[in-house]
């Protein structure tokens, strides 16, 4: 039978992919966890490596025929060790072990639990309402059901992590695992302070850098490598790779981490994803990646300041990284209808709880906005200032669909001047 392409084999899916391709071209994507992978990354993801099963690790596989796959995985690891080892506070590449097999960030985090804890052990992480992640011990997650979770929070007056509270709670509850990581927190994390607290109580320190991995790699955010016992991350977001996960740890923990990933949590790795991680790591070693990462932070800083100028309440007063959190209470609208209106205007963000939010999680008070994707398109200060004005215009005209459509047309025109990398034109 003659080989068929996607359009011939499944025109419905082909049409939907085409529609998403157009959407990603014509809208300003501000979801902090999204970005544009390069054409090279996507080619690796869609390669013949998806056909191969490879349970185990390089040179230690359970299936034959791994001559190429082993080289792919080893290349990904070597590049990541070079990239992130250069950011290490101590030890560099010499004391760094890397596992590139986790299917995503959440399984990478679960591997940390499996490697070091027993059910019922105490864990501490930033609470979800304060900007933490589900897998850091939230009650709706398996991590909050199988382990005793003690969340720490942020100060009410400035919405910053209260390290004094972290230390007090740690000394009181003696966690075996302490998380330093966030998903909706706009400020720099003090990994040294977390290390000090972990040492005081004898805890494993885990840093989750899923959101900031690209910034860490480029020196745009302090690195936990060499400070934390284990560091987990996704491989997309600011890192601009495929949808996957990775774990860095000190060599003393290598066996425990590898055993937790396989056979503890999963079977064969996704080799096409591993190849794409290797490609992304090579791209991140290029000087242009450092420029991009620092521009992400600059754009976020400018956008946050412009939104404050337009009367928005930005939690903590601004940002040090790639995202900001808006509390829309003073605008008289909740986050969900605001996000939906912005989406109709071609500005894609997500509604999000803010610290001490009186509203329910599925109908919160805030918006989370990030700059990685628009920065990857080459947008800069003028576009961030214009974007803030558009956001203010949409929020001020909720219900005025003609005005929202007018903004959408202007957004589309601007996006045409900044072609999205990796996509088909």
Tokens 């398109």: give the residue: 377
Distance of CA 217 to the CA centre of its chain: 13
C-alpha dihedral sign at 81, 221, 377, 342: positive
State whether residue 91 is helix, strand or coil.
Answer: coil
Is 290 noted as a catalytic residue in this protein? no
| φ and ψ at residue 55, rounded to 5 degrees | -60, 140
Question: What's the rounded Cα separation, in Å, for the pair 28 and 348?
Answer: 6
> Which position among 187, 237, 295, 368 bears the catalytic label?
237
Taking residue 24's Cβ as centre, other Cβ atoms within 10 Å add up to 17
Question: What's the rounded Cα separation, in Å, for the pair 307 and 310?
Answer: 5
**Rg of the Cα atoms in the chain:** 22
Beta pairing class for 148-152 and 122-126? parallel
Question: What's the rounded Cα separation, in Å, for the pair 261 and 116?
Answer: 12
> Which position among 34, 43, 53, 190 bears the catalytic label?
53
Is 237 noted as a catalytic residue in this protein? yes
The closest of 285, 216, 291 to 248, measured between CA atoms, is 216
Kind plus residue range of the DSSP H or E element containing 233: strand 230-234
Kind plus residue range of the DSSP H or E element containing 179: strand 177-181
Is 18 noted as a catalytic residue in this protein? no
> Which position among 143, 234, 273, 315 bears the catalytic label?
234
> Which position among 81, 176, 208, 357 bears the catalytic label?
208
Is 243 noted as a catalytic residue in this protein? yes
The closest of 408, 279, 398 to 328, measured between CA atoms, is 398
- 229 within 8 A of 253, measured Cβ to Cβ: yes
The count of C-alpha atoms lying within 13 angstroms of the C-alpha of 320, restricted to the half-sphere facing its C-beta, is: 13
Taking residue 13's Cβ as centre, other Cβ atoms within 10 Å add up to 11
For residue 105, count CB atoms less than 10 angstroms from its CB and return exposed for 0-12, middle for 13-18, buried for 19 or more: buried
Is 234 noted as a catalytic residue in this protein? yes
> Which position among 61, 148, 160, 243 bears the catalytic label?
243
* String of DSSP letters for 285-335: TSHHHHHHHHHHHHHHHHHHHHHHHTT-EEGGGS-SSSEEEEE-GGGT--H
State whether residue 16 is helix, strand or coil.
Answer: helix
Beta pairing class for 204-208 and 148-152? unpaired
> Which position among 55, 162, 298, 385 bears the catalytic label?
55
Is 208 noted as a catalytic residue in this protein? yes
Tokens of 321: 């990284």
Known catalytic residues are 53, 55, 208, 234, 237, 243
């Amino acid at each position: 039978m003659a080989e068929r392409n996607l359009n011939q084999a499944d025109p419905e899916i082909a049409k939907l992919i085409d529609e998403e391709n157009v959407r990603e071209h014509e809208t300003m994507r501000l979801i902090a966890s999204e970005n544009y992978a390069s054409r090279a990354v996507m080619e690796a993801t869609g390669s013949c490596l998806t056909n191969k099963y490879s349970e185990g690790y390089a040179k230690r596989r359970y299936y034959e025929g791994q001559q190429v796959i082993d080289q792919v995985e080893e290349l990904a690891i070597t590049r990541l060790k070079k990239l992130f080892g250069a950011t290490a506070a101590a030890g560099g590449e010499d004391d760094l072990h890397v596992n590139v097999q986790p299917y995503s960030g959440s399984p990478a985090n679960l591997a940390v639990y499996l490697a070091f804890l027993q059910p019922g052990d105490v864990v501490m992480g930033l609470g979800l309402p304060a900007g933490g992640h589900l897998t850091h011990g939230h009650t709706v997650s398996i991590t909050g059901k199988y382990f005793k979770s003690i969340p720490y929070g942020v100060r009410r007056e400035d919405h910053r992590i209260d390290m004094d509270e972290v230390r007090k709670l740690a000394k009181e509850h003696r966690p075996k695992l302490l998380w330093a990581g966030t998903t909706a927190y706009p400020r720099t994390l003090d990994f040294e302070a977390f290390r000090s607290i972990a040492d005081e109580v004898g805890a494993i320190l885990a840093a989750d850098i899923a959101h900031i991995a690209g910034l860490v790699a480029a020196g745009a955010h302090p690195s936990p490598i060499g400070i934390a016992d284990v560091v987990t991350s996704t491989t997309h977001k600011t890192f601009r790779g495929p949808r996957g996960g990775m774990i860095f740890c000190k060599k003393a923990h290598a066996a425990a981490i590898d055993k937790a990933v396989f056979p503890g949590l999963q079977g064969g790795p996704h080799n096409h994803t591993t190849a794409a991680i290797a490609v992304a790591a090579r791209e991140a070693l290029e000087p242009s990646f450092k420029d991009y990462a620092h521009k992400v932070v600059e754009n976020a800083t400018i956008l946050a300041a412009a939104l404050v100028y337009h009367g928005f309440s930005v939690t903590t007063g601004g940002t040090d990284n790639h995202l900001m959190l808006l509390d829309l209470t003073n605008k008289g609208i909740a986050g969900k209808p605001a996000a939906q209106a912005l989406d109709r205007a071609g500005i894609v963000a997500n509604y999000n709880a803010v610290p001490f939010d009186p509203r329910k999680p599925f109908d919160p008070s805030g918006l989370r906005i990030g700059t990685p994707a628009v920065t990857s398109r080459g947008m800069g200060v003028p576009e961030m200032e214009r974007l803030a004005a558009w956001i203010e215009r949409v929020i001020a005209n909720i219900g005025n669909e003609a005005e929202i459509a007018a903004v959408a047309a202007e957004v589309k025109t601007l996006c045409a001047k900044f072609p999205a990398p990796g996509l088909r034109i």
